[in-house]
Structure 1
Amino acid sequence: MKGHCLCGNVTIELEDINTFEACHCTMCRRWGSGPLMAIHSHSKPNIQGEESMTVYPSSAWAERAFCHKCGTNLYYHQLGSETYVLSLGLFQDNPNLTFESQIFIDKKPDYYAFANDTTNLTQQQLFDKFKEKGIQPEE
C-alpha cells in the first residue's frame, strides 16, 4: 500500500495491511488533537522524501516523525524494533480497512466515543504486552 503526506513531499510504501487502530494516550492526543488513527506495521516502510521529515524523540523508547513542509504526522516508531505505527490519513486511497482495536482505552476522555466493536486494551494491558517483547515502556 502507498500513501503520502498532505504536500506529497513524503511518500510511504508498506505491505498491504487491512486493519487500523486508535491510540488514546495523552501523547497521541496532544500530537494530533485527538486519538491517533493508525496502521500498525511490523516492518520498516519504504520512505521517500526523508529530507522533508523531522524525527522527534518523544520518549526514551520511541520517536515520532512528521513532514516539516506541511505538518502531516507520519509515524510513531518503537526504537530497537521494526514496529512502525503510521498515520491512517496517509493511506486514504485504501477503502478496504477495518477498525480493529483501541489502545490506552482507559485514557480516552469522555467527550468522544467510537461506535465500532473493537478489541480494547488499557495502558497496563498494552505495557504487559510490551514487556513480554522485552520493551520497558515509561509508566
Structure 2
Amino acid sequence: MESGIEHSGACLCGAVRVKARTQGTSIGACHCKMCRTWGGGPLFAAECGSDVEFEGTEHITTFSSSEWAVRGFCRRCGTHLFYRLKKENHYAIPVGLFDDRDVWEFREQIFIDQKPSFYSFAEKTRNLTEKEVFQLYSGE
C-alpha cells in the first residue's frame, strides 16, 4: 500500500475485510437520494482513492447505481462496503467499517441541497451542492 494512514475493518459478518489508505482523517457525508435510499440516511465515508484491498472478494456483490459509480456490499450480511467511481477507480469507504472509529473528523457534506429538512448536524463543515460536486469532479 502507498503512503498515508492505513485503516482496516470488516463487514458485519466478517466475510469481507478491507484495508485502505487515506491521506488524513477527514470524512464526509453524502445526502444524495441514492445514498439515502441505499443506507436509509446519509453516507458517511472516507475518501480512499484507489489504495484499497479486500479479502473475501467472493462475498462482494456490486450494483452499478449510475453511469459513473458502482456500489459494493457483502452478499452474506448486506453490509455496505464501498462506493467506487468507475472511471477513476476511486473508492469512498463507509467509515463505520473501520476499526479505528474515534480518529475521524467530520469535515464535508455533499449534495447538501438534497438533504431532507428532518435532520442536521452541529459540526461546521464544507457544504457543496449537487452542481458544485459535479463541477469539482468534472473540472468545469
TM-score by length of 2: 0.91
**Alignment deviations for residues 78-115 of structure 1 (CA, whole Å, 9 cap, x no partner):** 00213101111101433111001000000000000000
Aligned to 1:49: 56
User: Superposition RMSD on alpha carbons, in Å?
Assistant: 1.2
CA distance in structure 1 between the aligned counterparts of 2:120 and 2:13, rounded to whole angstroms: 30
State whether structure 2 residue 77 is matched by structure 1 residue 87.
no
CA distance in structure 2 between the aligned counterparts of 1:6 and 1:79, rounded to whole angstroms: 25
CA distance in structure 2 between the aligned counterparts of 1:84 and 1:18, rounded to whole angstroms: 15
Q: Is 2:73–2:79's contact at 8 Å kept on the other side of the alignment?
A: yes
Q: Is 1:44–1:82's contact at 8 Å kept on the other side of the alignment?
A: no
Aligned to 1:78: 85
Percent identical: 42
Number of aligned residues: 133
CA distance in structure 2 between the aligned counterparts of 1:20 and 1:8, rounded to whole angstroms: 23
Question: 5 Å matches for 1:1-139?
Answer: 1-16=7-22, 17-132=24-139
User: What are structure 2's unaligned runs of at least 5 residues?
Assistant: 1-6
Aligned to 2:3: none
Secondary structure of the residue that 2:100 maps to in structure 1? coil
Runs of 4+, deviation exceeding 3 Å: none
CA distance in structure 2 between the aligned counterparts of 1:114 and 1:61, rounded to whole angstroms: 28
Shift of 1:131: 1.2
